[in-house]
Structure 1
Amino acid sequence: MPRFQEILLLVGQLNYTWTNTESLLIYLIAGLAKVDKETAIIIFLTLNTTRARIELVERLAKMPKTAADCRQAVLTVTGKLTRQAKLRNKYSHCIYSFDESGSHGSTQLMRIVDGKDDVKYGKIEALDDKEMGRIHDSIEDIRAINKDIWSIVVDNSFPR
């Protein structure tokens, strides 16, 4: 299979796994804020970035009324989710380039980096075997985070 098709499948799987897992923050919001699932959905959808959703969950977990073991579990899982967001964001917001055969590819990041005296943008990176492995690993890590969130929900009897 050409690298072009492989990367399309992997990025699709990465985004599906990410979206499925990010939506589980609804249950953490419901449980930590002590609201029903429908209210948590409205809160989740009102916050339009992953960062805002994770920050809300972390702040709710840090409230004095949250049991220490629950707080630690939530903060651990949100830390893992935040780390995985970087790779997911890279592949969701970059430009892809492939050679004519679709066998060799690269990404170009669509981000500006301000230096002291200059501006840089469009960092180019190869889609080599090492990078493909990073994507595979990230998908597996996000799946594990998914299971961790479900454990928190069940262990703390959060609304489902």
Structure 2
Amino acid sequence: MSSPTTQTPPKDFDAFLMRIGQINYAWTNTESTLIHLMAGLIPTDTSTATIIHLTLNTTRARLDLVDRLAKRQNCPLPADAIHRILTISKRMKKLSGLRNRLNHCLYAFDQDGGPVRAIQMRIADRKNSLAYGAETVLDEAELAEIDLALRDIQTLNEDIWSVVCDYDMPQ
């Protein structure tokens, strides 16, 4: 039986890791701004909204709550604010797919200089089978997609703060 060898990642792998770290930082920072939307939609103070935010342990649950609060019949915000919030939520849901794909995977590379790959750690139930281990090559196109997503997350952050300020929500 042979022992596993230590593989050294290619030098360009560091660029991907840096981008993934930037995505995580920007995402966490932006997701925390949902607290202020919740506070304005409920309405309540940011302390209470923070407890609600932290109690819901997924992005999807937090966004679903924001959507439902905005769509309810007695929402305290005007229609234009509701429209902006629902648009922001839809954009966040779309961006969460890339973030989740980058965070919930294994990264693989080989000593022979093959491309770095992201291997998804997700099971897809098919009609008569299972699918798992889908691979994405981390190339320049993927790096460009990550950079675009990072800019989109930063824009979302600005848009959320704009709604919070425009409608005098708790800060």
TM-score (norm 1): 0.96
Q: Aligned pair in 2 of structure 1 residues 102, 85: CA closer, same or farther (>3 Å)?
A: farther
Aligned pair 1:2/2:8, yes or no? no
Larger gyration radius, structure 1 or structure 2: 2
The aligned counterpart of 1:114 is 125
The aligned counterpart of 2:35 is 26
Tell me the CA shift for residue 125 of structure 1: 1.3
Distance 2:144 2:110 in 1: 20
Q: 1:40 aligns with which of 32, 49, 55?
A: 49
Q: Which amino acid aligns with 2:79?
A: A
Distance 1:73 1:67 in 2: 10
Q: Aligned pair in 2 of structure 1 residues 129, 29: CA closer, same or farther (>3 Å)?
A: same
The aligned counterpart of 1:124 is 135
Q: Aligned pair in 2 of structure 1 residues 2, 101: CA closer, same or farther (>3 Å)?
A: farther
| Equivalences for residues 75-90 of structure 1 within 5 A | 75-90=86-101
Tell me the CA shift for residue 91 of structure 1: 0.5
Q: Aligned pair in 2 of structure 1 residues 126, 55: CA closer, same or farther (>3 Å)?
A: same
The answer to whether the 8 Å contact 1:4/1:102 transfers is: no
The C-alpha deviation readout for 1:30-87, integer Å capped at 9, x for no partner, is: 0111100100000000001100000000111112333100110000000000000000
Tell me the CA shift for residue 4 of structure 1: 1.2
Identity %: 45
Aligned length: 160
Q: Aligned pair in 2 of structure 1 residues 103, 37: CA closer, same or farther (>3 Å)?
A: farther
Q: Which amino acid aligns with 1:13?
A: Q
SS in 1 for 2:169: coil
Aligned pair 1:91/2:102, yes or no? yes
Q: Which amino acid aligns with 1:81?
A: M
The C-alpha deviation readout for 1:78-126, integer Å capped at 9, x for no partner, is: 0000000000000010000123387730010011111122111110110
The runs of 5 or more residues in structure 1 that have no matched partner are none
Aligned pair 1:157/2:164, yes or no? no
Runs of 4+ in 1 over 3 A off after TM superposition: none
The runs of 5 or more residues in structure 2 that have no matched partner are 1-9
C-alpha RMSD of the superposition: 1.4
Q: 1:137 aligns with which of 122, 136, 148?
A: 148
Q: Aligned pair in 2 of structure 1 residues 127, 38: CA closer, same or farther (>3 Å)?
A: same
Higher helix share: 1
